[in-house]
A and B are shown apart, each in its own frame.
Chain A
Amino acid sequence: MILGSCVREKEVSELLRQGHWPHACTAELHAHVDGCRACRDLVLVAASFQKARAQAAGAAPLQSPGLLWWRAQLRRRNTAIERAARPLLGAQIFAFVVTLMAGAAILGWQVRQGFHFTTWLAELPRAIHLQALLTDLLPHLGGGLWLLVPALGALALVGTLAAFVASEKQ
């Protein structure tokens, strides 16, 4: 199917593209364009678009190319880091799952061997000699025992904060 409906459209298009229309064309071609609807439309549309292009290009607000270059470099670097960190995250998840499974397996094995969790929990302070530890510690602390709990809490808070800041920096 020929959509152009005029055999001279290609010739007119080429002249328009090279900027030879209308001054560097024969009178015969001018006469043809005046009488041919397809070629007249082509000239009108192409001239309108080329004029619009020149005017719009003149009004274009240009940014600093250095800034764009820097942004692209930053984005490319971040993408590469993300790509590199992906297997590490996978390994961490895998290790966590393996640890959980191992813990569950050990616990199951212990239960089958006759292990009672509630009894073990009740006997835990005795097993780690907590009573002896407190008896030794209390006279040294004196009236400052009330400081121990907030100090431990503060230590935990500072540790969490430090871990968060470190992960943010990474």
Chain B
Amino acid sequence: MRKPLPTPLESVLPILVAGDEPRVAQLPMDNDAFAGFYERSARFLWAYLARVSGDPALADDLMQESYVRFLCAARPESLASQGEVAGRKYLFRIGTNLLRDHWRRPQSASIEEIPEEFFAAAGDEGQSDSRAMLGPAMKLLRPRDRQLLWLVYAEGYSHREIAEITGLASASVRLLLFRARRKIAALLHAQATNQGRRP
């Protein structure tokens, strides 16, 4: 039997007219599926945002916003056809855009707005080896170089995938990565030499 055509009001206002769950507000995955996806991907997204931005509190905010935007923007059919890998790549793309937006915004100079964890982390005695090694070297790199290095060496994405995530051309990614790797390698070598000299 043919479905009756919606009235003009129903076609304009499906949410306000329909009594049941509105079709337009449907999310790409249900609560349980999302919980599983979140469990498998959130730690690595947070690691990316925290180490690239150098600010764990900012990483918390951006991670939450990334997931909310992911749920609002992702299409259920594309997630079903391309799988979780594509979903995760999409998530990193959102996170990358949010980081870029954050860097473009004028920065606040007020000390009250800097989270306490930021100061606590600086004097943390239990600082790990890799953080002690990589952290200072990362700070000396440009934000874009940090992103590219993390995506390729920590997340294992190919140049083509990084181009999709960052919006750069694939050839540019190759060149920028080459320079960034040479730079961070020199910094890590220098740090290792300095630590070796220290009594």
Contact of B181 among A42, A50, A61, A80 (CB under 8 A): A42
Binds B, one of A63-71, A110-118, A151-159: A63-71
Partner of B27, one of A42, A51, A56, A73: A73
Determine if A131 is an interface residue (Cβ-Cβ < 8 Å): no
Does residue B169 face the partner (Cβ distance < 8 Å to A)? no
A residues 41-58 touching B (CB-CB < 8 Å) = 41-42, 44-46, 48-53, 55-58
Asked whether B130 lies within 8 Å of A51 as measured between CB atoms, the reply is: yes
Question: How many residues of B are in contact with the other chain, CB < 8 A?
Answer: 50
A binding-site residues for B, Cβ under 8 Å: 3-4, 17, 41-42, 44-46, 48-53, 55-58, 60-63, 65-66, 68-69, 71-73, 75-77, 79-81, 84, 87-88
Contact A69 B27 (CB under 8 A): yes
Instruction: Tell me whether chain A's interface is mostly helix, strand or loop, or mixed.
Output: helix
Chain B residue nearest to A66 (CB atoms) is B31
The count of A-to-B residue pairs whose CB atoms sit within 8 angstroms is 131
29 A-B contacts (beta carbon < 8 Å): A4-B178, A44-B188, A44-B189, A45-B149, A45-B184, A45-B185, A48-B153, A49-B134, A50-B154, A52-B47, A52-B130, A52-B131, A53-B150, A61-B60, A62-B39, A63-B60, A65-B35, A65-B39, A66-B35, A68-B34, A68-B64, A71-B64, A72-B71, A73-B27, A76-B25, A79-B72, A80-B14, A80-B15, A81-B16
Tell yes or no: B133 within 8 A of A by CB. yes
The answer to whether A57 and B43 touch across the interface, beta carbons within 8 angstroms, is yes
Task: Name the B residues within 8 Å of A46 (CB-CB).
Answer: 153
Closest to B67 in A: A68
CB pair A57–B22 under 8 Å, yes or no, is no
Residue of chain A at shortest CB distance from B151: A49
Task: Tell me whether B79 is interfacial, beta carbon within 8 Å.
Answer: no
| Interface 1/0 per residue, B118-161 and A, CB below 8 Å | 00000000001111011000000000000001100111100000
